[in-house]
Amino acid sequence: MTDIAYTYDGSLEGLLSAIFTAYANKEDPSDIARAENLQPRLGQEVRDVETSMEFALRVQKGICRTCGPIAFDAVKSTSLSDDPATGSIVYRFVRYAMAKHKPHDCAGCTRKMRCGGLCTRGQKNSALNDIAHPSVAPFHELNRTVYNERHRMMQFLRFEHMEGDVWFAQCNPLASVVPLLMDWFAGRFNTQAFMIYDEVHRIAGVYEGKDWYLVKTDELVLPERSAEERAMQAAWKRFYDTVAVEARYNPELRRQFMPKRFWRNITEMKETLPGREIAGSRR
Amino acid sequence: MDIADKLEILADAAKYDVACTSSGIDRDAQKGKLGNTLAAGICHSFSADGRCITLLKVLMTNVCVFDCAYCVNRCSNEVARAAFKPHELADLTIGFYRRNYIEGLFLSSGVIRSPDYTTELMIQTLEILRFEHGFRGYIHAKAVPGTSPELIDHLGHLADRMSVNMELPSSQSLQLLAPEKNKQNILAPMKQIKENIAEDKDTRAIARKCTTYMAENKPKKKTRAFVPAGQSTQMIIGATPESDYHILNLSASLYRTLSLKRVFFSAYLPVNEDARLPVKDAIELNREHRLYQADWLLRFYRFDVNEIIDEKHPFLDPLLDPKANWAINNLDSFPVEVNTAPYEMLLRVPGIGVRGAKSIVRARKRSTLREPELRKLGIAYKRARYFITCNGSYAGTGADFSREGLRAQLAAPIQGGRHGRRADKAIPGQLSLFEQVDTTKPKIMRPGEYQRLAASTDAPNLADTPMSAASPTEARALPQASADPFATSIPEWFAPAVSRQPKPDASPSRIASPRWDSGSIATQGFAGRERIVASVRA
């Protein structure tokens, strides 16, 4: 049997189609990766998998039925990672979870299968619990890095007030976490229309007061900042500089908690605040 | 005065407050209202000292009628004074919150005119936030000692967490340094808050319960819960001579009797010149760190305060964390088998934390845990390996399974960064090129041998460790090691050339070098290093 690698387009649907192809062709690809990330092994046959919504939906249904919707949610969020091995790790996990075939522990459940096997209770037998297993442990780790990145964004996202009463935030996460963020911010700031733009993955999440949606874009045209924005940013920067206690100065600790790669999008860490450069030149 | 100037003055005045967290309550977002909260809390930024900024930490005013010796804002200090108007502060909070800079507001205050007047100003601010702006974010409010109970009750229904500052760990110190405050007017609001929280919880539980078939007549307007995230307190460490033993016992009793969520410690920072204050340059940051570690053991690791510290050794070991210290003093209960040990015992293994213990319990249902699996679970295997067996095999090779041997493996100075005041520290155990080093290898003892040695009681180096502490509860009852742990271990740690035999009489004891008592060798800088070298040479 030859060594096979699949390439996919990087989307969740693409990954699920690749998983479908592996099952359909009765193959066990050793790598599933994006085309640009794949370094073919010696003698490896590389096959490009075409994304098919129909296949992806069938895989989704299968994972939900066999492993439970929580496992599928984990697959969904893990596939957002930028790690080059994401495809392979998710595929290994799905293989293991499907083979384990212990869907739901419906024993003693009061719903008596009224849920159609889709409830979220009784996850005792879920493959997600085998956290020390070699196909699950990397999956878990990757899933956690995605959620860590999401939490970082919850911490360090900074909104700016634009003209026309819209709020805009730009971020550079290591995983495409905007879809995971939108629920949180759409709840918290449900009174304001806002947009979160991920400059790395070129995805924008938009909330306009009702429901949020994602936009894939390469071009971003922003309105001017509103009048009070500069004063607010300056006030925040002053607060930030004031609140540190000199006698406890410990920049290593700060960098550990707030990695430098985020600094260019964090208001108080920016070298120059908007409008400041003009004020400086005038002087 | 510009609002930004006010903010600077009042944030500067509040920065020594340490109790700044946004945790303890989950509150979902509501349509048409601004904000929500997360029980774990969210840190939105980190200042240059590495402390998190989660709330807008400001004072309502830094005008104060009190004259507490340690405080920047005391009335005898000449500092710029300012006060927020309630709507100014509320607008600023909302402006910051909508930009995701903060999680909410931390509102403290100096005492302007009277405690009641101050609290009324705070209440006005919180009412504007909660009712005018529909703010559902986090609010932490300080209760000013001496406020009337009705106002505290009102404030508590607007805030999520309240705190009353203990300020100092004993009432004598309080009398000395903060003559206007006393134990009664600090403890009274704490007790009131505790009782109100309990009462509020009860009534809410009863109201939720559906006890009859009759149609419920619930009140139309929902009342806010009283301090749903609980209360906390803070105290200054190192301004007065209280020992760690005293401080930890105090905080344990606060957790027990007043059901506090958290006790904060703040290392004393000299900000004022005062004859009543100790004259010292060193900030006891390392002592504060060890106290927090002990505090975590109390709150999350099911330790009893008597297991962490006892009267004979009233200070925590500066070189070893309290959990490791407990473990090496109770070697009889180790090594534990990770595949079978109960959760409580796993929690007590150095290197395994709450999350690690939980994932071990979760993972071992499915598979046998060996070294690679344990490493994958994310525990600090490097530390834990001396105290565990994985499926029967012990991996802590290379170290003597005895108190001194493991101490040498686990002791480590606190990492305080390469900058700032904690940077210029003597590194204990650092070898010098010109130092004579005895390289005789000690015999390495394995746990089995240790248990056998422990069974025959004539082992000389085991005579001072407590025996047969099979379970944590038994260990609690037993007396601690009779010899001073510092007397035997510190010289050994500082100079490898000194023989390993404990010599309680000859070695420098706590009394001989009183500066060590503060637990802050690392912060004493160059002078401290000289002294240590000198004492070792002598």
Chain B hits for A254, CB-CB cut-off 8 Å, are 46-50
Residue showing tokens 């293989």: A95
Is residue B460 pLDDT above 60, yes or no?
no
pLDDT at B518: 38
Check B377 against A155: CB less than 8 A apart.
Answer: no
With left for phi above 0 and alpha for psi between -120 and 50, is residue B476 left, alpha or beta?
alpha
Pairwise CA distance, residues B461 & A193, whole Å: 70
Pairwise CA distance, residues B308 & B314, whole Å: 10
Let me know whether B190 and B335 are in one domain.
Answer: no
Let me know whether A14 and A82 are in one domain.
Answer: yes
Summarize pLDDT for B157-167 with one digit per residue, the tens: 999 999 999 88
CA distance B46 to chain A (A): 6
Check B42 against A154: CB less than 8 A apart.
Answer: yes
Split at pLDDT 50, 70, 90, the class of B510 is very low
pLDDT at B470: 39
Assigned token pair, B223: 């009342």
Tell whether B31 is within 8 A of chain A (Cβ): yes
pLDDT at A93: 95
**More confident of the two residues B519 and B425:** B425
Which of B153, B176, B202 is the last residue in one of the domains? Answer: B202
CA distance A19 to chain B (A): 26
Check B51 against A244: CB less than 8 A apart.
Answer: yes
| Interstrand relation of B388-390 and B393-394 (parallel, antiparallel or unpaired) | antiparallel
CB interface of A with B, residues 220-249, below 8 Å: 228, 231-232, 234-236, 238-240, 242-249
Overall domain count for chain A? 2
Check B99 against A160: CB less than 8 A apart.
Answer: yes
Residue B481, helix vs strand vs coil: coil
Q: Which of A25, A72, A71, A73 is nearest to A49 (CA)?
A: A25
pLDDT at B519: 38
pLDDT at B437: 52
Which of B435, B466, B482 is the last residue in one of the domains? Answer: B482
* Greatest Cα pair distance in chain A: 76
**What are the C-alpha distances in Å from B1 to residues A243, B62, B78, B93?**
20, 15, 18, 18
Check B363 against A236: CB less than 8 A apart.
Answer: no
pTM (whole model) above 0.90 = no
Residue B174, helix vs strand vs coil: helix
Percent of the residues in chain A that have a pLDDT greater than 70, as a whole number: 87
Check A238 against B15: CB less than 8 A apart.
Answer: no
Is residue A219 pLDDT above 90, yes or no?
no
CB interface of B with A, residues 207-226, below 8 Å: none
pLDDT at B300: 94
Q: CB-CB: which of B8, B33, B417 is closest to A242?
A: B8
Pairwise CA distance, residues B173 & B271, whole Å: 18
Let me know whether A204 and A247 are in one domain.
Answer: yes
Is residue A66 pLDDT above 70, yes or no?
yes
What letter does residue A245 receive in the DSSP assignment? -
Check B96 against A243: CB less than 8 A apart.
Answer: no
**H or E segment at B57?**
strand B56-59
Which of B482, B511, B530 is the last residue in one of the domains? Answer: B482
Chain B hits for A189, CB-CB cut-off 8 Å, are 34, 98
Is residue B59 pLDDT above 80, yes or no?
yes
Q: CB-CB: which of B12, B50, B100 is closest to A250?
A: B50
Tell whether B498 is within 8 A of chain A (Cβ): no
Let me know whether A128 and A230 are in one domain.
Answer: no
Query: What average pLDDT is seen over chain B?
Result: 80
Stretch A183-194: mean pLDDT: 94
CA distance B370 to chain A (A): 10
Pairwise CA distance, residues B530 & B538, whole Å: 12
**More confident of the two residues A200 and B397:** A200
Chain B hits for A154, CB-CB cut-off 8 Å, are 42
Let me know whether A212 and A91 are in one domain.
Answer: no
Tell whether B369 is within 8 A of chain A (Cβ): yes
Contacts of A27 (CB under 8 A, 6+ apart): A4, A21
Is residue A57 pLDDT above 50, yes or no?
yes
Assigned token pair, A245: 């206690």
Tell whether A102 is within 8 A of chain B (Cβ): no
Summarize pLDDT for B392-404 with one digit per residue, the tens: 889 888 788 888 8
Task: Give the domain range for residue B361.
Answer: 321-482
Tell whether B363 is within 8 A of chain A (Cβ): yes
Split at pLDDT 50, 70, 90, the class of A7 is very high
Check B51 against A245: CB less than 8 A apart.
Answer: yes
CA distance A224 to chain B (A): 16
pLDDT at A22: 95
Q: Which of B8-22, B219-233, B351-365, B472-486 has the lowest mean pLDDT?
A: B472-486
Residue B360 covered by a domain: yes
| Interstrand relation of B138-142 and B161-163 (parallel, antiparallel or unpaired) | parallel
A50 φ, ψ to 5°? -85, 140
Check B269 against A189: CB less than 8 A apart.
Answer: no
Stretch B136-147: mean pLDDT: 93
Probe site for chain A from B20, B26, B34, B45 (most A CB atoms < 10 A): B45
Check A248 against B51: CB less than 8 A apart.
Answer: yes
pLDDT at B424: 54
**More confident of the two residues B535 and B156:** B156
**DSSP string over A175-223:** B--HHHHHHHHHHHTTTSEEEEEETTTTEEEEE-SS-EEEEE-S----P
Let me know whether A142 and A41 are in one domain.
Answer: yes
The CB density around residue A246, as the number of other CB atoms within 10 Å, is 11
Assigned token pair, A57: 């939906």
Let me know whether A197 and A129 are in one domain.
Answer: no
Tell whether B16 is within 8 A of chain A (Cβ): yes
Chain B hits for A252, CB-CB cut-off 8 Å, are 50, 417-419
Summarize pLDDT for B275-325 with one digit per residue, the tens: 888 776 667 888 999 999 999 999 999 999 999 999 998 999 988 999 999
Which of A147, A164, A190 is the last residue in one of the domains? Answer: A147
Residue of chain A nearest B368, judged by CA positions: A132
Tell whether A105 is within 8 A of chain B (Cβ): no
Q: Which of A40-49, A274-283, B396-405 has the lowest mean pLDDT?
A: A274-283
Summarize pLDDT for B214-240 with one digit per residue, the tens: 776 666 677 889 999 999 999 999 888
Stretch A56-79: mean pLDDT: 91
Chain A hits for B418, CB-CB cut-off 8 Å, are 252
Is residue B484 pLDDT above 80, yes or no?
no
CB interface of B with A, residues 388-427, below 8 Å: 416-422
- B102: CATH: 3.20.20.70
Q: CB-CB: which of B29, B44, B53 is closest to A190?
A: B29
Is residue B488 pLDDT above 50, yes or no?
no
pLDDT at A53: 95
Is residue B427 pLDDT above 70, yes or no?
no
Q: Which of A7-21, A55-69, B125-139, B407-421 has the lowest mean pLDDT?
A: B407-421
Residue B218, helix vs strand vs coil: coil
Which of A147, A170, A201 is the last residue in one of the domains? Answer: A147
Residue B311 covered by a domain: no
Pairwise CA distance, residues B240 & B263, whole Å: 18
Contact (CB, 8 A) for B236 and B282:
no
Tell whether B376 is within 8 A of chain A (Cβ): yes
**More confident of the two residues B328 and B445:** B328
Q: CB-CB: which of A188, A239, A257 is closest to B46?
A: A257
Contacts of A166 (CB under 8 A, 6+ apart): A192, A193, A194, A195, A223
Helix axes A69-78, A86-100, angle to 10 degrees: 170
How many residue pairs from chains A and B have C-beta atoms closer than 8 A? 165
Let me know whether A125 and A95 are in one domain.
Answer: yes
Cβ-count burial B305-337 (b if 16+ within 10 Å, e if not) = bbbbbeeebbbbbbbbbbbbbbbbbbbbbbbbe
Percent of the residues in chain B that have a pLDDT greater than 70, as a whole number: 77
**More confident of the two residues B57 and A64:** B57
Tell whether B51 is within 8 A of chain A (Cβ): yes
Q: Which of A236-240, A256-260, B257-261, B268-272 has the lowest mean pLDDT?
A: B268-272
Is residue B509 pLDDT above 50, yes or no?
no
Contacts of A207 (CB under 8 A, 6+ apart): A182, A185, A186, A189, A190, A193, A194, A195
CA distance B21 to chain A (A): 14
Residue of chain B nearest A161, judged by CA positions: B99
With left for phi above 0 and alpha for psi between -120 and 50, is residue B391 left, alpha or beta?
left
Residue of chain B nearest A131, judged by CA positions: B363
Is residue B270 pLDDT above 50, yes or no?
yes
Contact (CB, 8 A) for B57 and A257:
no
Pairwise CA distance, residues B146 & B479, whole Å: 42
Probe site for chain A from B3, B18, B51, B99 (most A CB atoms < 10 A): B99
Contact (CB, 8 A) for B45 and A258:
yes
Percent of the residues in chain A that have a pLDDT greater than 90, as a whole number: 67
Which of A121, A147, A173 is the last residue in one of the domains? Answer: A147
Task: Give the domain range for residue A183.
Answer: 156-282
pLDDT at B423: 59
Summarize pLDDT for B145-182 with one digit per residue, the tens: 889 999 999 999 999 999 999 889 888 888 888 888 88
Is residue B490 pLDDT above 50, yes or no?
no
Let me know whether A43 and A177 are in one domain.
Answer: no
Is residue A21 pLDDT above 60, yes or no?
yes
Let me know whether A189 and A74 are in one domain.
Answer: no
Residue B263, helix vs strand vs coil: strand
The listed range with the strongest mean pLDDT (B59-73, B84-98, B432-446) is: B84-98
Tell whether B478 is within 8 A of chain A (Cβ): no
Check B34 against A189: CB less than 8 A apart.
Answer: yes
Q: Is the peptide bond before B86 cis (omega within 30 degrees of 0)?
A: no
Overall domain count for chain B? 2
